[in-house]
Amino acid sequence: MAALAGANLIYGAGMTESGVTFDYAQYVLDNDMARMVKHAVQGVPVNDETLAVEDIAAVGPFRDFLSLDATLRHMRTQSQPRYMDRRVREDWEAAGARDAYAVATEAAKQILEEHHPTPLDDGVSAQIDAVVTEAEERGRAR
């Protein structure tokens, strides 16, 4: 509802238990949810191209839209969840039948192992550490 009302920054990703606990796996799932919400609030643009009346005429009742240029062109505009599983049950079972939370837990572990943002320059890092040290000394002195 907040997103539909156009709130600029909606917080809460990763939270469980009314704000006591931060759950890494839930955070990964909420990121997927946030992306889906951003997708939905864009709505459905209506214009000659999106109405696709010519394409509908060309395909008619007996063929499908899979091989159309427009389908390829707009493919990337579709919503693309990473961890919400859209496969049918049979395929999901064949792939190990792991629920969303288990998959997200794996993803969280992998992100923690592999993702390392560019570190700050040593000089900058040292300046930051100096501020922290100063605060800690002040805290001890009080």
Partner 1 sequence: MKRNPQAGAQRSAGLRLQMFSDADLDDLHRGTLEVLERTGVFVESDEALDVMADGGCRVDRETRVVKIPPYLVEDAIRSAPSTVRLCGRVPENDVVLEGGRVGFTNFSAGIMVVDPRTGEYRTSTTQDVADLARMTDYLDAIDTYEHAVEGRDAPETTLAIRDAALGLKNTTKCVGTGAMSTYDVDAIVRMGAAVAGGEDELRERPLVYFCECPVSPLKLTKDAAEVILGAARHGLPNNVISMAMSGGSSPVTLAGTLVTHNAEVLAGLVLAQLTERGAPTIYGSSTTAMDLRFAAASVGSPELGMISAGVAQLAQRYLLPSFVAGL
Q: Is 46 in the site for partner 1 (CB under 8 A)?
A: yes
Cβ-proximal residues to 105 (8 Å cutoff; 6+ apart), any chain: 24, 25
Binder of partner 1 out of 60, 61, 96, 119 (CB under 8 A): 119
Nearer to partner 1, 13 or 68 (CB): 13
Binder of partner 1 out of 76, 86, 89, 138 (CB under 8 A): 138
Q: Is 83 in the site for partner 1 (CB under 8 A)?
A: no
State the CB neighbour count (10 A cutoff) for residue 88: 9
Query: Min. distance of Cβ 14 from partner 1 in angstroms?
Result: 5
Rounded distance between C-alpha atoms, residue 136 and residue 141, angstroms: 9
Rounded distance between C-alpha atoms, residue 90 and residue 106, angstroms: 22
Query: Min. distance of Cβ 13 from partner 1 in angstroms?
Result: 5
Nearer to partner 1, 19 or 61 (CB): 19
In the structure encoding, which two tokens stand for residue 122, read together?
Answer: 């040593």
In contact, 29 and 101? CB cutoff 8 Å: yes
The angle, 0 to 180 degrees and rounded to 10, between the axes of the packed helices 100-114 and 24-40 is 100
Span from 10-18, 58-66, 68-76, 89-97 in contact with partner 1 (CB under 8 A): 10-18
Rounded distance between C-alpha atoms, residue 65 and residue 109, angstroms: 39
Query: Min. distance of Cβ 122 from partner 1 in angstroms?
Result: 11
User: What type of residue is 39?
Assistant: H
Residues lying near partner 1 in the complex (CB under 8 A): 1-28, 30-35, 37-38, 40-48, 54, 105, 108-109, 111-112, 115-120, 124-125, 127-129, 131-132, 134-136, 138-139, 142
